Amino acid sequence: MKRWFILTGMIIFIISCYSGKIKYPATGAVRYRLSEEQNRFLDTLQYRTFLYFWNECNPANGLIRDRSSKKSPASIAATGFGIVAWAIGAEHGWITRESAAERTLTLFRFLMRSEQNPSPSATGYQGFYYHFLNMTTGARMWKSELSTIDTAWLLAGVRFAVHYYSQNNPVENEIRTLGDSLTFRVKWDFMTLPDTGHYAGTISLGWFPEKGLHEIGWVGYNEALYLYILAAGSGYQNAAKAYRRWLSTYQWFTPYPGLAHVGFPPLFGHQYTHMFIDMRGLMDEYMQKKGIDYFENSRRATLAQRRYAQENPMGWTGYDSLTWGWTACDGPGPSYNHNGKKFNWYTARGMIGSRYIQYDDGTIAPTAAGGSIIFSPQTVIPTLMSMMKRFGEKGLWGRYGFVDAFNLT
């Protein structure tokens, strides 16, 4: 564990060295006071969301389904998020700490013992894991990739558990030991792309046993900010060079006055890293030059989406200041309505103002707004409560809280 602290501390120190005067400091998350009604709503939402990660888990191995369908494979990213959800459940008293710890240990033991080799039917290779796994056996499903980003989210949950389960007892001691082993056996160098071309020296999206490394690397600005910090903290030798290349591909947008930010259209790219690292006050060289930290960047991206809904340049039904939010989510399916407007199934929806629309088919995801609650609670909480009150009984609200998405058009 000490090794992790030292290496990660070095990366955070490098970022914070650029934290001079922040022109636009992060605002909103700490000073917001919840009303009693908002507290009750959020408690209910948290509880129902927790139930997903508890009920849609195989207790024999700790793997969690990608979606609630019984035929769904496990997602290693969902499993990483679930590790945190179990602990939140324990903190609220919905389950005991002992139950959360036992399930976490079951998962860690399974991951350590799972098949790690080049076989197309293995669970993982070189410390990484395939994106989708069989819920029972842990074998690779759907010919999915050995995923760097999804492994990162699995390990984000692992790193959380190593620090959360700090008691001196056999179960929690083993969680910490196995958590460190899972973290440091990942061979990040294995996923490094050649030092030529647009993705030179960056970490690849993944690897396939049938054809090798994915030719695209993690560049631009997106959820992989956490991936590079994790890799650096795990001893990745090429971290500094890869991160410089990552920064060199950032794009700055000004979708609306006062909301200029490093762009990535779907909101999940602005949210996931912040679940595990408090980015307030942290800037690298690029962000220092722009005068904001990563927290403020995500706040602006959130508010820009809300402004887009108010503007509604494509004329979709229902968009307003309390009905907004775009991210990777399900949709109505590949079809057209009577006006010739095209809809899609699962895809990354999002935009950076009305001048750069990646994809918008009238589908709104409550998770998009909800995931930004730390950045702008004064806009996000009323939005979620309004969605639940207006559309909850029409299918938007169920056993696990909000469904993935809805489309009023």
d(C-alpha 127, C-alpha 267), whole Å: 29
d(C-alpha 309, C-alpha 320), whole Å: 5
Residue with tokens 């324990």: 90
Residue with tokens 């984000």: 156
d(C-alpha 71, C-alpha 118), whole Å: 26
Taking CB atoms within 8 Å and a gap of at least 24, the contacts of 88-91 are: 88/46, 88/50, 89/50, 89/53, 89/54
**CA of residue 60 relative to chain centroid, distance:** 25
d(C-alpha 158, C-alpha 161), whole Å: 5
Considering only CA atoms, which of 196, 185, 186, 179 is closest in space to residue 245? 196
Q: What is the pLDDT of residue 30?
A: 55
d(C-alpha 62, C-alpha 102), whole Å: 10
Consecutive sets of 10 residues in the chain, 409 residues long: mean pLDDT of each?
37 36 48 94 98 99 97 98 99 99 99 98 99 99 99 99 99 99 98 96 98 97 98 95 97 98 98 97 95 97 99 97 98 81 93 97 98 97 98 98 96
In CATH, the number for domain 23-33+251-409 is 1.50.10.140
Rg (C-alpha) for the chain, rounded Å, is: 21
d(C-alpha 143, C-alpha 132), whole Å: 8
* Per-domain residue ranges of the chain: 23-33+251-409
Provide the whole-model pTM. Answer: 0.93
Q: What is the pLDDT of residue 8?
A: 37
Q: What is the pLDDT of residue 18?
A: 38
Note whether 93 and 164 are within 8 A (CB): no
Considering only CA atoms, which of 220, 231, 233, 219 is closest in space to residue 12? 233
Considering only CA atoms, which of 228, 268, 186, 296 is closest in space to residue 12? 228
d(C-alpha 299, C-alpha 243), whole Å: 23
d(C-alpha 215, C-alpha 180), whole Å: 30
Note whether 265 and 326 are within 8 A (CB): yes
Note whether 331 and 405 are within 8 A (CB): yes
Note whether 64 and 78 are within 8 A (CB): yes
d(C-alpha 25, C-alpha 286), whole Å: 16
Alpha helices in 200-293 (DSSP H): 225-233, 239-248, 268-271, 285-290
Q: What angle do CA 238, 243, 248 make, to 5 degrees?
A: 135
